Amino acid sequence: MSYRIIEQHGGRIECDSAPDVGIEFVILLPRFTEEAVEITEPPGGPHTVVSEDRPRSILFIDDEAFVRAVGEGILKHHGYTVICATTDQEGMDYLGAHADEIDLIITNLTMPVMSGKEVLREARKRYPQIPVLVSSGYTVDPETFIAETGTRPEAVVTKPFSMEEMLRSVEACLARADAAGMAA
């Protein structure tokens, strides 16, 4: 994930390793020379959260604090209610008590105890009305989930995700769920 972020910014990583000495990583990033520009609206126009009776609620399950903070910030800024869980079990426990309040589950693919695929399988079994979006630091084809879980997520977002990519995926998942009568 770090390599992708550095590469996207035009940088590179150099590594030097020696036995009994250790490893040194050097991150080289180009100098930013342009003046900062204040952006008042996200590129592509504003995103809106449509709901007649309440804001949409998203359960965001990820073991990485930075990813949770970024995802939560993006989603809250655009009007979503976000409940964060640091572990898959914490997320599933929350669902057990509040499934009727959750409109979308976002889960990391690689977690310490249950994988995102296991969270997807359990969510589909217990809460089939709630759509699932999987986030991963690896490129993933949603169709590959079918062999292991018998189902597929509504969408997959590759980390590091941009604000636009996350919002488009969330909005598409919710729109499909509404059309299918899935969301709570």
Which domains are delineated in the chain?
Answer: 1-30 (no CATH), 58-180 (3.40.50.2300)
Residue 97 DSSP SS3: helix
Q: How many residues does the chain have?
A: 184
Within 8 A by CB and 6+ apart from 9, the residues are 29, 30
The reported pTM is 0.70
Compute the mean pLDDT over every residue in the chain, rounded to the nearest whole number.
Answer: 82
More confident residue, 90 or 146: 90
Helices (H), the chain: 2-8, 65-77, 88-98, 116-126, 145-149, 163-180
- Is 50 exceeded by the pLDDT of residue 50? no
Q: What span, in angstroms and rounded, lies between the C-alpha atoms of 121 and 91?
A: 14
